[in-house]
Amino acid sequence: MPISALIIDDEQLARDELKYLLDSVGDVDVVAQGSNGIEAVDLIDEHHPDLVFLDVQMPGQDGFAVIQRLVDRNRAQSAKAGAEKDIAPLPQFVFATAYDQYAVRAFNVNAVDYLLKPFDLARVTEAVERAKARIAAGTPSAGAPEQIQIDRLLRLLNRPQNGEASRPPAKLIVQAQSRLLLVDQADICFAAIDEGVIRIVTRAFEGQSKCRTLEELLELLDPARFWRAHRGFVVNIDQIREVMPWFKSSYQLRMNDKQQTEIPVSRAQTKRLRELFNL
C-alpha cells in the first residue's frame, strides 16, 4: 500500500523534480504540494500524510518553524485532552536543503532524514525506504514531544560531530532574508538580542540566528574570541574598533561594522574589559 506524502518547497522546479523522482521510486502517493510554511501546516491538518518532504528555507515560516508550530499545538491539545493517545501523530519529516557541510549535519540524526539539492534518485529512494521502515515500526516522528526537539536540531546545525563537540565550529549559520549563510566566526562583529530575536552583525551584512538565547549562541562560539560585554550583547574581541571611556568609570565599545555600532559594557564586565586590554 502506498504511503501518502506532501511536498513543501517554495521553488516550483524543486517540487516538480521531487515529484518526478518520487513517481520513479513508486509506492508514494503525493496528495498535495505547498510553497510555504503556512501552507505546510494547513495541508498537514487537511491530509494527515504519512510523510512530508519539507524545505528548510521558505517564506513566512521555515521548515523548523513548521515543526515547532505542530509540536506546540500537539502539546497544547495533549494537555487539554489529558492523554497523549488522544492526539493524532505527526507525520515523518524529510528535510530538503541546498547547503551541505554544517547544514546537513543538522538532519543526520535518527529522527529525521535529509535530501541535498539538487535531488538524487538514490537518496530519494533511501529516504523513502527509511520513512517506510519507521512508519511500519510505529516510530514517532521527529516532531513528537518525546523525540529530538527543534532546539537540539538548531544546535546541531552549527556543531561538529564525530567527537569534535568540544571544539566550536569555524562557521555559523546566519539567516539573511530567505537565505541560510555559512559565516566565518572571525567575520562576526557582534550579536544582539531584542524582543527574543538574536541579530548577527558582520562587517558585510546583518542576519538572524536560530538560537533563542545569547547563552545558547555562546555555546556555538569560540570562547577565546567572543565575550558577553552586556546582557544584551556578545562581541567579537577582534572586531572592537575603539574602547571609549564613559561616565562613572564605565566604557562603551565602538565595533568594526559598517555602522560602527556603540555597545555598552556592563558594570559587571568592566573588570574583564580592563583585563583584556590592560586598561
- CATH class as words, domain 3-156: alpha beta
pLDDT band at 23 (very low <50, low <70, confident <90, very high): very high
Confidence grade of residue 207 (pLDDT, cut at 50, 70, 90): very high
pLDDT band at 224 (very low <50, low <70, confident <90, very high): confident
The grid cell for 132 is 517506510
Domain range annotation of the chain: 3-156, 173-277
Mean pLDDT of 109-114: 56
- Inform me whether the pLDDT recorded for 144 exceeds 90: no
Query: What's the whole-model pTM score?
Result: 0.52
pLDDT band at 46 (very low <50, low <70, confident <90, very high): very high
Mean pLDDT to the nearest integer, 107-111? 43
The answer to whether residues 50 and 5 touch, using CB atoms and an 8 Å cutoff, is: yes
Q: What radius of gyration, in Å, describes the C-alpha atoms of the chain?
A: 22
Chain position carrying cell 502517493: 29
Average pLDDT, the chain: 80
CA distances from 132 to 4, 26, 56, 81, 135 (A): 11, 12, 22, 29, 5
pLDDT single digits (tens) 228-279: 999 999 999 999 999 998 877 789 999 999 999 999 998 888 888 888 887 7
Higher pLDDT: 93 or 153? It is: 93
Pairwise CA distance, residues 276 & 269, whole Å: 11
Q: pLDDT by residue (tens digit) across 158-206?
A: 444 444 444 555 678 888 887 888 888 999 999 999 888 999 999 889 9
Q: 162-191 as b/e, with b when 16 or more CB fall inside 10 Å?
A: eeeeeebbebbbbeeeeebbbbebebbbbb
For the cut 70, the answer to whether the pLDDT of residue 112 exceeds it is: no
pLDDT of residue 70: 82
Distance CA 100, CA 115 (A): 10
The fold for domain 173-277 equals: OB fold (Dihydrolipoamide Acetyltransferase, E2P) (2.40.50)
